[in-house]
Chain A
Amino acid sequence: MFLKFSITKTIHDWLFELMPAGVAGVVEMILIAVVYLLIFAVAGLYLVLLERRVAAWFQLRLGPNRVGYQGLLQTMADALKLVSKELTGTEKADKFLYNLAPYFVIVTSLMALSVFPFSEEFQAFDINIGIFFLTAISSIGVIGILLGGWSSNNKFALIGAMRSGVQTISYELSVGLSLLTMVLLTESLQLSEIVAVQKNGWLIVQGHIPAVIAFVIFMIAGTAETNRAPFDLVEAESELGAGFHTEYSGMKFAYFFLAEFINMFIIAAIGTTVFFGAWLSPFGITDSIPWLGVFWFLGKTLLLVFLMMWFRWTFPRLRVDQLLRLEWKYLLPINLFNLVFMAGLIWLGLTIKF
């Protein structure tokens, strides 16, 4: 496995000057873990706030705007409240699995977060099977949901968890295949190389028609994989109470809740990396200032996150049979056709390169 820590070379060199190599390596890993935990917490909390404000604007409301300037501290206050809550549970729950489930969900989303190229320097874990790792990790999260639903000894939680299993396993195929379509263009699974290829034009431009089709399928399947409306059969407030996390309270509930939003961020970040050139600026306008890459990456990601929120507050929910029909009768055949189409384009040299 190819490991490379490249969060700003200066800190790295300074640490290795200061102490022996073995200690410095450990300290560096801890520092990186702390940084990513911070990113995780802040991104999770502010995505919740963004969701609430955007939802309010879609419904002609104002949204939370009381705690702090324009409600900027609202989700912090909510998190504090959740920390202070009692952790309840059902009497006949399988205690070990019940307590384990939230960590499965949150650890997988944290692991997925670590491979993204936020900028040229700022990437903790540049693994050579990047995309494969991402799709694999993001489907482990469903184990946490299944465990949570199974072990809480609640019929609604169990139904929600089983639906989640059906949904994630089906839509994982579409996410994987649409990413595979783009991998045909990049000829590499490593995220830094995928970005390097896009210096000749973002992949959605390079691959034009099949890339756009792949992007549409990716957004649909990605929304389904994060269990958000219009595919929120897992939670389904109207029929299942709160779905798989019905029996969770306090911080354990908050873990599920935060992980859901981080998963949304992860799907959007994969979309940004694979289709929209990650930290590359449009037409290379800020190539001379490398740290602006973070700004471009977050900007594009938030645009895709906004798109997913737009989906959520526009479309009506699907039934389970409609959900499966959409995947197996529409998305999957189109995806397979699209894969062949893209391969043909590359074979004939019809891609657009600047």
Chain B
Amino acid sequence: MSYVSEIFKGLNTLLTGMKVTGNYFLHARKGAITQQYPDNRDTLKMFERFRGEVVMPHDENNEHQCTGCQKCELACPNGSIEIIWDRGIDEATGKKKKKIDRHIYHLGMCTMCGLCIEACPTDAIVWAPNFENSVFDRTQLTKVLNQPGSKVKAGIED
């Protein structure tokens, strides 16, 4: 008799599956995940975990959190990050201290692996959701992440 009960069990599982997909079918018009990209360019927001490019956020005083430790440069598997650094006098203590001059990021070489962001001890660099990265000239893909005249935020190294 397991023959007959197996048939009914099988039919039941098939109907369960059809119920699930039927439910999707009925809600597809409202819940579709498709983005009609060039049309909704102004309103399109990428999702949170999207890896567009690496940026260095600055606050309103033009201060970033990068101490110039170069851990990101070491972590990068293909050398997309170069840090040009210098030593300067720290005003608070009067001692000589490492600081970044330019944090250079080659977007054209980046594979979006995210190892630099994992390596950063002060969360100075993060992912940005920009995705329109195409340019007419390759040199424009080499970016300087720290803004001109910016300096490190006080107390970040403590």
A310 adjacent to chain B (CB < 8 Å): yes
User: Across the interface, do A54 and B36 meet the contact criterion of CB distance under 8 Å?
Assistant: no
A59-67, A140-148, A250-258 - the one binding chain B? A59-67
Closest to A309 in B: B25
User: Across the interface, do A310 and B28 meet the contact criterion of CB distance under 8 Å?
Assistant: no
Known: A54-B25, A310-B22, A313-B21. A62 touches B7 (CB 8 A): no
User: Across the interface, do A60 and B21 meet the contact criterion of CB distance under 8 Å?
Assistant: no
User: Across the interface, do A58 and B25 meet the contact criterion of CB distance under 8 Å?
Assistant: yes
Closest to B4 in A: A334
User: Across the interface, do A61 and B33 meet the contact criterion of CB distance under 8 Å?
Assistant: yes
B contact residues around A57 at 8 Å (CB): 24-25, 28-29, 32
B14 adjacent to chain A (CB < 8 Å): yes
Q: Within the assembled complex, what's the spacing in Å between the Cα atoms of A311 and B25? A: 13
User: Across the interface, do A61 and B18 meet the contact criterion of CB distance under 8 Å?
Assistant: no
B31 adjacent to chain A (CB < 8 Å): yes
| Interface residue from A56, A58, A216 paired with B21 (Cβ < 8 Å) | A58
User: Across the interface, do B34 and A58 meet the contact criterion of CB distance under 8 Å?
Assistant: no
B79 adjacent to chain A (CB < 8 Å): no
User: Across the interface, do B36 and A59 meet the contact criterion of CB distance under 8 Å?
Assistant: no
A sample of 27 cross-chain residue pairs with beta-carbon separation below 8 angstroms, ordered by A number, consists of A56-B32, A57-B25, A57-B28, A58-B21, A58-B25, A58-B28, A59-B24, A59-B28, A60-B24, A60-B27, A60-B32, A61-B28, A61-B33, A61-B34, A62-B32, A62-B34, A62-B36, A310-B22, A311-B18, A313-B21, A314-B17, A314-B20, A314-B21, A315-B14, A315-B17, A330-B7, A334-B7
Of all A-B residue pairs in the complex, the 8 with the closest CB atoms, nearest first, are: A57-B28, A62-B34, A314-B21, A314-B17, A61-B34, A62-B32, A57-B25, A58-B25
